[in-house]
Amino acid sequence: MPVQTTYALRIDRAYAGLLDQLNPHETLTRTAEAGDISFGLAVVQGTDPGQGKLATATAGVFRGITILRHWGTNDINKVLTYKENRDMDLVRSGIIFVKTEDACVAGDPVFFRHTAGGGGTILGSLRTDADTATADQISGAAFLEAGIAGAIVPIRLTWA
């Protein structure tokens, strides 16, 4: 009898927005403002203190990274998101996996996109530099592993 030696199913190590459960983390909840927000993206302060949104200009007050939740709602493209005007969970300190816009190495600083630029167009996405003034640095955050553009890598957030 033949024995199966290859498998089509591949289990990913992590997904954008997945918390590293082996390390302590601090979370908070905000209401999604100004549209749906995907997992693993940077969120800034919204109009009211209890709201959060994707940055649309520089100098937004960083509040955290959206956490992957299995109860997220599918959008039209079958992508799980936090829906506008619904609660979303953010991590503000600890380790979380994100999809990086550019190649990174361990120790690189973390920047979040606030304006579409040459390096990417997804607001809230994370990268290693300011991409010609279209991304702001997250104070105290660093990439923990190397990865190519588009890779899922862990970052450490430190709340000051």
Enclosing domain of residue 31: 26-157
Quick one: pLDDT at residue 1? 72
Quick one: pLDDT at residue 142? 97
**Domain-embedded: residue 114:** yes
**Domain-embedded: residue 12:** no
Quick one: pLDDT at residue 37? 93
**Largest alpha-carbon pair distance within the chain?**
66
**Domain-embedded: residue 141:** yes
Its pTM stands at 0.88
CA distances from 87 to 37, 84, 113 (A): 11, 8, 22
**Domain-embedded: residue 96:** yes
Question: How do residues 79-123 score in pLDDT, each as one tens digit?
Answer: 678 989 999 999 999 999 999 999 999 999 999 999 998 888 999
124: closest CA among 76, 81, 73?
A: 81
Number of domains in the chain: 1
**Domain-embedded: residue 43:** yes
